[in-house]
Structures are given as structure tokens and as C-alpha cells.
Amino acid sequence: MHRLNSSQANERASLRADGVFEGGGVKGIAFVGALQAFEEAGFRWQNVAGTSAGAVASSLIAAGYTAAEMREIMGTRVDFHKMMDAGALGGVPLIGQWLNLLFHEGFYHGDYFLGVMRQLLREKFGKERVTFSDLIMPKEPTDSEEAYLSRFKYKLHVVASNITRNELMILPQDVARLGVEPDDFEVALAVRISISIPYFFMPLKIAERTNNRGSHWVVDGGLLSNFPIRYFDSPPGATPPWPTFGLLLREPNAGQPHFERIRSLISMTRAMVRTMNTAHDRKALEEADLKRIIKIPTGKYSATDFDLTPADRDWPYESGYRAAREFLDSWSWREYVAERQAVTTER
């Protein structure tokens, strides 16, 4: 078990932290190992944000699940193969998936995943429908009213892409623009929206209530922002009250030229997922950002490897644990504050 040395413990007054979790599909199992290392180091998560698999991890943190409980969920309670729930239409020999794509805009329904999320939240909150009103955080003395309402009111922040309005959405806050009350928005539904890989899972729709223009199609947040590491940052010149850590999934040969062979719509979808998971947010990372990011090797696994056996799931878990331990062994709060102050005053 990893413990802080005395100098580390003395300089970390609260051991609170905000967390940002990258999207990455099945590879997100690695987050659980990293969370175990953070728990052993004594950290408690304040606000958490995530895209796709990162939204899943963030929602379980917000619900109060420990890393050990998450490992059990990922290891034995979730049947990853059932994630590919094609339904009755998808069962038609040879053409079933294509019929789903034609009539439902996605190969798989995503209903199994939504049911699992609702069950997991039900077990922690003791109610059938868990909404963001169950995840409201108290206002901190250092929070401005605007910052609290826009970024810190809810413990959980889910990244999604509104393709009807061609814009990024942070759930639940941004549903207010559609005339929907953020407090009443269902947590499991928000996470289901964030995992809606285009063409792979059927997209979900949010009805606009402000002017009756119809429904908004909302899909995987990774389409626009797969790793919003700066979401919780303090304003320029301010000292952060606690650190923000980013958990990034690193594929083998990251940064090296990659050639994707695309021969069908399915292979195109997989290529699109890979692009979403490695593109825009990573290009914008600066040196100071990298010093607060845990890069977790994901080995041979891809985001859509839903046929993983329980044994297969051990490798990414251990990889996440090792990466987080190595990071925390050398991390310093004093150095973090100095670096963040330098960055915020230069921007």
C-alpha cells in the first residue's frame, strides 16, 4: 500500500482534488487502478468531469463508489459483451446491424449500459431515478457566484456533443439552454449520452422546451472535447485551492504516425473512435498541463474491445495503478501551485 512520506503529508492540507478523465471506451478500466493509488495516498475527489469512459468513472466516483467496488463492478458485474445489444432488428442474419444503422442511427441500442448505470446509482442512493439534484455541492468561500453555478455546483460534469447545434455541452448545466431544468436531469442518462460513439451506439435526443424547434441529437463528448483538463482551473493570477489531476489513456507508440486501414463503415467507425481519443485536446496541452497528468499505458486494448474476459481486465487495472503510483511518488503541491500561478499569469 502506498503512503505519503511526512514532507508530502505536511504540504497537502486537505488532500482534496478535482479530477478530469479522458474518454477511451473499454480502456477506461485503467482508471480504476489509478483511483486505487489515489485512495491509498489519501486523496478525496471534489469535482469530477469526464467524457465517455471518463464520464462512467466520474459518475461512479460522484456516487460514492470506492476503487475496490469499481474493480468488482468491472471485473464480475458488468458483461461487456452485452454492451453490443443489437436488439430484435439487429438479430436479422447478415444485415441486422446495418438495419439498426439505417433505422436507429447506430449499430447498438445502449440499453444494457443504461440499465447497469441506473442499477449502480440506485444501490448508492436508494431511489429509482438519480438526478443531478442528488449531486449538488456546497458553495466554497473562494467560489464566485458565476463560477459556482457554471462549474462547481455539481460534483459530476459530463461532456457531450450537441450535433444539432454543433456545440459542446457540459451536462447538466447546458440543458438549461434547451429549457430543461439541470437539477432534474437524470445522471445515468447523461452518462449514456456521453458514451454514444457515432454509428456505434444509437444517439439520444433531448427535446427542446424553449421554442418547440424539436429534439437535439447529442452524442459522445469526445467528438469535441475528449479531455477537458482546464475545466476546473482557477482564474488568472489565483492560487488553486487544491489540485486538478488529469487521467490520460496512452496508446502504444503515441505520437507516432499511424495508418488506419478503412475498408467498411465498421472500420471507419473504429478509426473515428481512435481519432476522437487522440486528437484535438491533446494537441493543446502545454508543458505545465503535462505535469498534472497521469499517462496510463493501455497496451493492446482498443476502446471497443467489448469481448474482454475478466482476466483481460486485470492488465489495464494494474497499468493504471502503476502509473498513478509513480506519478504521486514525485508529485509536490508546492511545485504544483508555483507552476499553475506561472501559467495563469502568462495566459
Report residue 191: phi and psi, to 5°.
Answer: -70, -40
220 is annotated as an active-site residue:
yes
The distance of Cα 37 from the centroid of its chain, to the nearest Å, equals 18
- The residue with cell 431511489 is 127
Residue from 220, 225, 289, 319 carrying the catalytic annotation:
220
Which cell numbers hold the place of 235?
Answer: 482564474
DSSP 20-87: EE---GGGGHHHHHHHHHHHHTT-EEEEEEEETHHHHHHHHHHHT--HHHHHHIIIII--GGGGS--H
Nearest-Å Rg of the Cα atoms of the chain is 20
- Tell me the sheet residues that pair with 342: none
Asked if residue 286 lies in contact with residue 343, where contact means CB atoms within 8 angstroms, the answer is: yes
State whether residue 169 is helix, strand or coil. Answer: strand
7 is annotated as an active-site residue:
no
Among 127, 16, 124, 35, smallest CA distance to 74 is for 35
Active site residues: 52, 220
